[in-house]
Copies of this chain bind each other. A is one copy, B any other.
Amino acid sequence: MTMPPSVAVLRIGHRLVRDDRTTTHAVLVSRAMGSEVIYMTDVDNGIKKTLDKVNKRWGGEKEFRLEIIDNWKKILKTWKEDGGKVVHLTMYGAPINQKIKEIKELSQRILVIIGAEKVPKEVYFLADYNIAIGSQPHSEIAALAIFLDRIFEGNQFNKSFLDEKMKIIPSDKGKNVIKRNPDYSSSNNNNNNNNSRFKNNQN
- Write the residues of chain A forming the contact surface with B, with a CB cutoff of 8 angstroms: 17, 20-22, 25, 28-29, 31-33, 54, 58, 91-97, 124-125, 129-130, 132-139, 141-146, 149-150, 154, 156-158, 161, 167-177
Contact = CB atoms under 8 A, between A and B. Distances in A.
Given A22-B25, A142-B145, A136 B171 contact: no
Residue from A22, A142, A144, A154 whose CB has the most chain B CB atoms within 10 Å: A142
A80 to B, nearest CB: 15
Nearest to A153: B97
Given A141-B25, A145-B145, A170 B93 contact: yes
Contacts of A20: 20-21
B137 A171 contact: no
Contacts of A167: 135
Contact of A130 (B22, B129, B169, B173): B173
Nearest to A168: B135
Contact of A174 (B124, B142, B150, B177): B124
Nearest to A23: B21
B157 A134 contact: yes
